[in-house]
Amino acid sequence: MSKDKERAQQDNMAGSTGKAGSPGRDAAKDGAPGGALDADGLRGQVVDFQRKVGALREEVGKVVVGNQAIVDGVIICMLAGSHALLEGVPGLGKTLLVRTMADALKLEFSRIQFTPDLMPADILGTTVIEETSDGKRRFEFRKGPIFANIVLADEINRATPKTQSALLEAMQEHRVTIGMTTHAIGQPFFVLATQNPLESEGTYPLPEAQLDRFFFKLRVDFPSRAELHTILERTTGTAPPVAAQVLDGDGVLAMQELVRRVPAARHVQDYAVRLIEATHPAHEHAIDDVKRFVNYGASPRGAQAVLLAAKCYALFDGRFAPGIDDVKRAALPALRHRVLLNFEGEAEGVKTDALLLKVLATLPETVK
C-alpha cells in the first residue's frame, strides 16, 4: 500500500469534500453555502468530532467496564446512521451498554422485550377508533415503541419471523407503513438488538434479509479478572455510576454528515470492493476455503458498511481519509453476519471470523 497516496488524499480533503460537482476551497472561503471547508475549518471539525467521541466514550466508560472495541463499534453504527446487533451470553452488560448510550445522548429511548407472543402491532403501533368531543368517531394511529431515536430490541431472536420482519422497513427506510399510510420516524434513528447465542429452545434465527440490515455484528466477550473486580466495586456499592448527557440529536446528525463527507482514495475503495468479491465462492479470486465452505458471500451493503466504518475509524484517529488498515479493521464486525456458510461449513464447525481472516491475509492491498 502506498502511504504517499493516503497522504495525498488527506491533503485533498482539506480543500474539497470529495463530492462531484461541489464547490472547492475558494467557494468555502467566500462563504458559499454548502461549500467545502478550508483546511483550518476541516481540522477544527475533525478535532470537535474527536472531542465529542471522547466525551461519549468517557461517559459510557463510567458505567460499562471494558469492552472498548464494542463501545466503539456501537458508536460507529450510530455515526453511520445504521444499526448494531450485539451477541453474547447473559450477564455481560449488553442491555446495560445500550441503556448507558441512551443516557449519554439527549435522545428519546424505548425498549422492546421480544417474546414469542409479541406481534408486529406491538412494535409498530396500531390504528384505534377514538370518539371526539362532539360525539363523532375517527381512526387514530397510536405509535408503537419503534418511534424513538434509540430502540433497544432485547433478545430479538425470541420473536417469531413475522414479528422480526416488522423491523425491516423501519431499519432500512426509517419509516413505517400501516395500511395505506406511511409514518416517518424521527432522526437520528438507531436500533440496537441483542441476542443470546447459547439458547436454541424457543428462539428463531434471524433471516438473512434481517441480518443484512445490521451494520455491525458485535460479539461481547467475558470480562477479564481485573474487569470483574471493577464491575463488583461499581455495582455492589451504595451509589452506582450514572452517565451524563454529552450529545444531542443535532450533534449526532452533524457527526453523521461529517462521516459521509470524508472521501476515500480510489485504491482504498478498490480494496474494499475486492474484499467483498473474495467472499463469494464463484469469484475467480476466491480462496479454496471460501469455495468449499461458503454458500453466499457478503452483499453490497457489506461494502458500504466496511467503507463507512473505515471513515469513522479514520476520524477517530484524527485523520482526514481512511486507509487500507481501516478497511481491514472494519472487516470482521461488518462481514461476519453477511458471509453465509454452506452445509459442509456448518458440519465442519468453520468459524466465519477465521475464514475472513484468511481472506484478509491473502488479499493483495493493490493490484496492477
Could you give phi then psi for residue 305, rounded to 5 degrees? -65, -45
Please give the Cα distance from 312 to 79 (Å, whole number).
8
Residues 65, 91 contacting (CB under 8 angstroms): no
| pLDDT score at 33 | 41
pTM of this prediction? 0.83
Q: What is the CATH number of domain 47-249?
A: 3.40.50.300
Backbone angles phi, psi at 122, to 5 degrees: -65, -20
Helices marked H in 128-185: 161-164, 167-173
- Nearest-angstrom CA–CA distance, 323 and 316: 13
Q: How far apart are CA 67 and CA 215, in angstroms?
A: 18
Q: What is the pLDDT of residues 183-233, one digit of tens each?
A: 899 899 999 998 887 666 678 888 888 889 999 999 988 888 998 898 888
What's the pLDDT at 38?
A: 66
3 state DSSP class of 165: coil
292-304: string of b/e by CB count within 10 Å (b at 16+)? ebbeebbbebbbb
- In tens, the pLDDT along 249-300 reads 899 999 999 999 999 999 999 999 999 999 999 998 899 999 999 999 999 9
The residue ranges of every structural domain in the chain are 47-249, 263-368
CATH fold label, 263-368? Helicase, Ruva Protein; domain 3 (1.10.8)
Task: Retrieve residue 270's grid coordinates.
Answer: 478498490
How many other C-beta atoms can be found within 10 angstroms of the C-beta atom of residue 178?
Answer: 16
CA atoms within 13 A on the CB side of 158: 16
Residue 348 has which C-alpha cell? 465442519
Contact 258, 315 (CB under 8 A): yes
Residue-level pLDDT at 356: 96
Contact present, 91 and 252 (Cβ < 8 Å): no
Which three cell numbers mark 136?
363523532
